[in-house]
Amino acid sequence: MTDSTSPAPNDSNTSVAELKKLVDDFVGQRDWHQFHSPKNLAMALAVEAAELMEHFQWIEVADSREVANHPEKLAAAAEEIADVLSYTLAIANSLGVDLSETIHAKMVKNAQKYPADSFRGRHGGE
């Protein structure tokens, strides 16, 4: 991963492209591209999202916010978040989606659909 002179990877020093390559290299080294159809990846992503959801199922909203203050609970949730993101990156790789471009474009659409002045402090279902 990193040598002793490189800083530990974190969100400040790792690009989306680097994460996509990390996932693609992992998949390629195991000859798993043959199994990574968009359909299979989307299904695996849903499973991982459900595993993340299990960490918060049946607890109160306030307790869910406290997960960040409990190292073991946070580590378990973070691993599921990593799985969700890894499958998202794998789907993007499989379909050739530029995530930075797509997320920026989607946020522009969201800003038009949910103007800050109209939706500040409330969700869109009201």
Residue 5 in domain: no
In tens, the pLDDT along 6-28 reads 899 999 999 999 999 999 999 99
> Which residues, in sequence order, are CB contacts of 47 under 8 Å at separation 6+?
none
Residue 3 in domain: no
CA atoms within 13 A on the CB side of 100: 6
Residue 1 in domain: no
Does residue 1 carry a pLDDT above 90?
A: no
Residue 90 in domain: yes
Q: Do the Cβ atoms of 111 and 119 come closer than 8 Å?
A: no
Residue 78 in domain: yes
In tens, the pLDDT along 35-81 reads 999 999 999 999 999 999 999 999 999 999 999 999 999 999 999 99
Residue 126 in domain: no
Question: How many domains in the chain?
Answer: 1
In tens, the pLDDT along 68-119 reads 999 999 999 999 999 999 999 999 999 999 999 999 999 999 999 999 999 9
Residue 110's domain is classified under what CATH number? 1.10.287.1080
Residue 121 in domain: no
Could you tell me the residue range of the domain that residue 50 belongs to?
A: 16-115
SS3 109: helix
Residue 2 in domain: no
Alpha-carbon distance 9 to 81, whole Å? Answer: 16
pTM (2 decimals)? 0.89
